[in-house]
Structure 1
Amino acid sequence: MSEIHTFTVAPGVELWWLPTTKFHIARLEVNFLTPQHLPETTARKMLANLLQRSSAEWPTEALLSRQLAGLYGAELVARTTILQNLNILSVAISSALEYQQQEIFESAQQLLWNCLWRPNLDEQQQQFAANAFKIEQVNLNHAYESIADDYPLQASLALRRLVYQNVRDLAIPAFGTLEQLQQLTPIQVRQQYDNLLKNNRIIVTLVGAVSTKTVQKVLTALQNFSPRQQKFAFRIKDLKSNSPKPLQQTKIEPLQQSQLALAYQTSGRWSVLQVLNMMFGGDDQSLLFQQVREHHGLAYSIYSNVNTYQQLIYVQAGVDGSQVSLTETLIKQQIVRLTQENLTELLHHAQLALINQRLELADTIAVSANRLLLKALNPQAIIDDQQYIQEIKRVQLADVQAATQQLHKIAGYYLIGQDKE
């Protein structure tokens, strides 16, 4: 892995550069970090959408898209992410370094700064332009409305609210809620923008074999940001759960397919939890897929995923309403199998699957940029592929069994489908 270069421009303003030759393009990403606060979640999502789709110089999405096309397919993206105690608003541009001796990435970098520093405001510069705001409001509203037809997502969000009921700032998805959107105004989003520029911690990641001249231009641009009064640090949130029994919620709807969403907690190294999850329900060779879906035919779909921060394993299944109880019984049986049986072959498959997944993702420049950000936030984070592979290979069956023995259910959401009478 190439050596990472770090630069501190001012307190709370820094650049992390990975000068890799692995990609034929480069990526510049500006990450604005602030403590995750539930009431501001939707406003930050709306702000990200506005910054991505228009600016003062290119006040419509069509004009901005045309400008990007002129940079030989440069891509501008913006998103918000909730990472434990932090809400991260990221604006990134990826483009070729050059084409036919024309410097493309230099122009792409200028476009990104243009969108950040000169957003699409009204004539008085007091709020975001009404037309742009309305378009993004409608788009986001349609996205929220689509959740009504996405029952797996409904179940996942409901389970999230149960798990984080004592940590309300994490109970909301990064894309916000319809209720908050309905109360949002262009002036409030402008206030979010001002706070973003003045107070958010800024970590810029640069991935690609750019010249030192390009790096210097990024550093010069970052001097426009004033020093931050606070350097918001990453920390893992405590679930603060003191319930002696698993939290449960059931909702009955006129649906053909029911949704079962369960959350389990355990303890163990991150590598052990990743292997455990892959063996349990991480792919089509896992116990849940092979036993619950293939052998018993109880689930239309079933899978698990892992949150190594809170050491959670989530299970979600689409099942017939009459089979929910039996499906959960079979899930419990697979947990018992993980603790008692000699599943060495499945262990080796899980390790290989995780390694292949890791190497496949490493071919994506956005993933490299994200790993660089994680390293900036947590010096202990493993971003080197070979180090990751070594940690996964270190996992023994006894490690998985020990973590599985501590696996206990903390929440369950049941979206039960019933035929209309």
Structure 2
Amino acid sequence: MSLYESIPIKVLPTDKFKTTTITFKFMAPLDVETMTARSLLSKMLVRATKKYPTDKAFNQHLSYLYGAYLNSHVSKFKDHHVITMSLEITNERFLQDSLPLLDEGIQLLKEVILNPLVNEGAFDETFLQQEKRLLQNKLIAIEDNKTQLSYLHLLKNMFGDHPYSYPAVGQLEHIEEITPEVLYDTYRQMIEQDSCAVYVVGHVDETATKNKLQAAFELKPFTYERDNSLQSVNPQQTINEVIETADIDQAKLNMGFRFPTQYGESDYPALVVFNMMFGGDPSSVLFNEVREKKSLAYSIHSQIDGKNGFLFVLSGVSSDAFQDAKNTIIEAFEQFKQGDFTEEKMALAKKIILSHRKELKDRPKQMIELTHNKILVDKPEPEASFVERIQAVTKEDIQQLCQKAQLDTIYIMTKAVDQGE
């Protein structure tokens, strides 16, 4: 059956925390036309409901629930757009009185998700205007932040008009057209068509919690169409190099690599270990070579989107040094292709990865993300198997994977050369 046994409710019982976290994830295929509206919707839903139609009423109820914390955000998950809504509430076992906080929390989420503040097929105009302004400010801040902007330009040059190249929070030019009625249509679509998964972390009874949630929400089995259209890798392809100028002192040098693996595949752990050695940590090759030894970069790191098999190198370098920095990064990658790295470095990378992983299990939200990732694999594995697979990665595994990888795009944002100089 897999697709992580068609979710829709997964309870992770643990006595590690004094709170219970309940998270809903609504997933729809990535679509440029709907991302901005979904982003606004995620904020509107946790803003007001029919029962709590004002900020004051809503906040008073959260205080009554011992300072329960409700939040929402949007993100990209492989080829899908996700609205995540999370409620963190004190576990009733730690209370002196008999308020059934888990039941109260489920009722609050039911109110938020199924009974939003809507009149005659339209969301509240005043709240929507406020949320639009906030989103506008957020997107303008991204445009003013050259680090974030240069990363988006890298994605744009690497993926063209594919919705993957846009930020999950949406686009400035789409904000204006979203009316209270359009937002209500977006909401209906989310409720009727999105795949929905629910996760609970806390000291709770698994069966009872599932029954309560199912009774409140009548959730459908989970469906998710996997799309691998982003996944083509061609090591022979010419590198797409783009240089743009902007009013900046420090140049941005970003690179996008494609790897022929992804989360859940047998050689995926090799990508995780490689990334940590390459630029994922201050002990990495890029940090040491480009930043420390050669002083070519103010900042440099690599990060992976493991669900799609992409690796991005993001750096801030001196405007007169970006060519040197670029060549040094490419040389460092070539060394991995040649297997020119030590067992000691690899052992250190594995140690850091496993230590990070251990930390994730001490945070409810990260536990939920790790569990949610399992929908991408045909056979979800126990945690011990992740540890074993990281430990089992060899030099040859990393070398072979790097030989099959493709440096797709190099994007450089630098200052314009003054003709009078």
1:305-324 equivalent positions in 2, closer than 5 A: 305-324=303-322
1:254, CA displacement in angstroms? 1.7
Which has the larger displacement, 338-347 or 372-381? 372-381
Secondary structure (helix, strand or coil) at the match of 1:282 reads coil
CA separation of 1:342 and 1:85: change in aligned 2, threshold 3 A: closer
Partner of 1:77: 71
Pair 1:136 & 2:131 matched: yes
1:406, CA displacement in angstroms? 2.9
The partner residue of 1:115 within 104, 112, 116 is: 112
CA separation of 1:293 and 1:333: change in aligned 2, threshold 3 A: same
Query: 2:136 is matched by which residue type in structure 1?
Result: N
1:250, CA displacement in angstroms? 2.0
Partner of 1:68: 62
1:319, CA displacement in angstroms? 0.7
Partner of 1:231: 223
Partner of 2:364: 365
Partner of 2:264: none
Contact 2:74 2:82 in 1 (8 A): yes
1:402, CA displacement in angstroms? 1.7
Query: 2:31 is matched by which residue type in structure 1?
Result: H
CA RMSD for the aligned pairs?
A: 2.3
The partner residue of 2:400 within 388, 392, 402 is: 402
The partner residue of 1:126 within 121, 145, 153 is: 121
The partner residue of 1:336 within 318, 328, 334 is: 334
1:318, CA displacement in angstroms? 0.2
Contact 2:26 2:196 in 1 (8 A): yes
Contact 2:252 2:412 in 1 (8 A): yes
Partner of 1:3: none
Pair 1:146 & 2:138 matched: no
Count of aligned positions: 405
Unaligned runs of 5+ in 1: 1-5
Contact 1:237 1:310 in 2 (8 A): no
1:68-107 equivalent positions in 2, closer than 5 A: 68-98=62-92, 99-102=95-98, 103-107=100-104
Query: 1:247 is matched by which residue type in structure 2?
Result: N
Partner of 1:20: 14
1:19, CA displacement in angstroms? 2.2
Partner of 2:238: 245
Contact 2:339 2:396 in 1 (8 A): no
Pair 1:33 & 2:27 matched: yes
1:88, CA displacement in angstroms? 2.0
Which has the larger displacement, 275-284 or 258-267? 258-267
Pair 1:266 & 2:262 matched: no
Secondary structure (helix, strand or coil) at the match of 2:72 reads strand
Partner of 1:375: 374
TM-score with structure 2 setting the length: 0.89
Distance 2:339 2:81 in 1: 41
Name the % identity. Answer: 23
Distance 2:88 2:223 in 1: 27
CA separation of 1:323 and 1:199: change in aligned 2, threshold 3 A: same
Contact 1:84 1:237 in 2 (8 A): no
Query: 2:154 is matched by which residue type in structure 1?
Result: L
Distance 1:83 1:385 in 2: 21
Which has the larger displacement, 214-223 or 250-259? 214-223
TM-score with structure 1 setting the length: 0.89
Partner of 2:215: 220
Distance 1:62 1:285 in 2: 49
1:214, CA displacement in angstroms? 3.5
Partner of 2:352: 353
Distance 1:337 1:304 in 2: 16
Q: For 1:264-299, what per-residue CA distance to the aligned partner results, in whole angstroms no more than 9, with x for missing partners?
A: 223351100010011000010100001100111110
Partner of 1:288: 286
Distance 1:84 1:178 in 2: 23
Secondary structure (helix, strand or coil) at the match of 2:123 reads coil
Distance 2:388 2:313 in 1: 27
Query: 2:141 is matched by which residue type in structure 1?
Result: S
CA separation of 1:105 and 1:62: change in aligned 2, threshold 3 A: same
